[in-house]
A and B are shown apart, each in its own frame.
Chain A
Amino acid sequence: MKNRGWIIVFASALIICAVWWLCITAFSSPAKTVGIYQNGELIEKIDLTTVTGEREIELSGEYGRNIVYISNGSIKMKSADCPDKICVKHGELESSGSPIVCLPNKVIIKFEDASEKIDAKAGAAG
């Protein structure tokens, strides 16, 4: 089901809208802050450095459950009921890397400070 040619299937849409002054806070969010989005909406913003011990966050979507796992300042998708488990195979979220995306359940996990140097990247989908 992945890579079906050029076709634009917007299985997941992440839409952010802000007024002028809001952008200032958006651009100055602290390092290591991660946003968990589902259906384009922010579920939770977490500063990974403040999580002591381990933490699991359960999300449910059309294709079942996703379990997000945080420990030692890192975040990953621990398990997912979706068919391909691309989000689980992604491993830990890296600040230089692409976001963790679960297209079936429309979940995106990304660094909020990824725009520190660039605003967007051409060529790397997802």
Chain B
Amino acid sequence: MDTVMSITAYGDGCEKAVNMADREINRLDRLLSIEKSSSEVLLLNKEKQLELSNDTLKLVSRAREVSIITEGAFDITTEPLTRAWGFYSELDNRVPSEQEIQDALRSVGFQHINISGNKVTLDESTSIDLGGIAKGYASAKAADILKKNGVTSALISLGGNVRTVGKKPDGSFWTVGIADPNDSSKQIGMVSVSDSAVVTSGGYQRFFEEKGHIYHHIINQKTGYPADSGLKSVTVISSDDTLADALSTALFVMGLDKSSELYSKNSELFSAVLVTEDNNIYITENLKNSFSSERNFEVIFD
């Protein structure tokens, strides 16, 4: 996705730090993007067996962890499904046949990935896509670089993924708005955060329409169809960017009830704001003091 990156940083030596962070994000893009010829992911998908560099290996391992705790709702092996639905290019958008979906489903799931040391092996028709997790990883690495180089306060935005470093220069919390899934130029509310990532996944971000049906890009790896869990968008707030990125997708697939269950077991790991199909807003209890909205919302207790 062509997207805008912005980094705003305050502190001594911030110019050098911002340049370094910018370079690191671009390096990771070249390494992890499924469409860059230089990408390790692309090479792994082609060769099916590869010694991965530390960054890529870390992400694949991390993806497996999130896949386990979300019972597969987050899955990096949905690449054949995403491809069948034509979500890699707007021009390819289409509804695949039931047979195509069933065929693609056979190569989906973490059981088709074998990790041994640095070597990762994929089953023959399995391919991976780190898209649901790479931006989070990139913003975490960028934030680390900024901090190590004297930046005390910064805001990073990678195409709608937001990461804050420290507090604002005046000592107050950063205020991050959450896009309204019905009109992303508006917002449903805002969160006050410091040193956190704020990541939103929603069907509204990428979709196509065919014969009066809307098909969005977040595929349920169990059914092979766009997730239909009753949610319009999920925003996850966490000090762990990679986790926030992956969980925003996972919770969107899981729906309100299963997301609430996951939260009750992991309330120290993340906070979330969920918007349902009928436009109700739910926030997790640990967000009670930092979320504000002009609209009514309900609280999910752990």
Contact = CB atoms under 8 A, between A and B. Distances in A.
A6 B129 contact: yes
Chain A interface extent, by class: 35 or more
A123 B184 contact: yes
DSSP class of A's interface residues: helix, strand, loop or mixed? Answer: loop
Sorted from nearest, which 10 A-B pairs have the closest CB atoms?
A: A6-B131, A123-B200, A123-B179, A124-B184, A118-B177, A97-B185, A125-B159, A125-B160, A124-B179, A121-B177
A100 to B, nearest CB: 11
10 contacts: A7-B36, A8-B158, A10-B4, A10-B5, A13-B22, A20-B11, A96-B186, A118-B177, A120-B176, A122-B200
Interface residues on B, range: 35 or more
B205 interface: yes
Given A17-B15, A119-B176, 15 more contacts: A6-B1, A9-B29, A10-B5, A11-B3, A15-B6, A15-B18, A16-B7, A19-B12, A23-B10, A119-B174, A120-B164, A122-B160, A123-B181, A123-B235, A126-B160
Contacts of A126: 2-4, 159-160
Nearest to A13: B5
B138 interface: yes
Interface of B: 1-12, 14-15, 18, 22, 25-26, 28-29, 33-36, 82, 87-90, 129, 131-132, 134-135, 138, 155, 157-162, 164, 168-170, 174-179, 181, 184-187, 190, 198-202, 205-206, 217, 233, 235
Interface string A90-126: 0000101111010100001000000001111111111
A51 interface: no
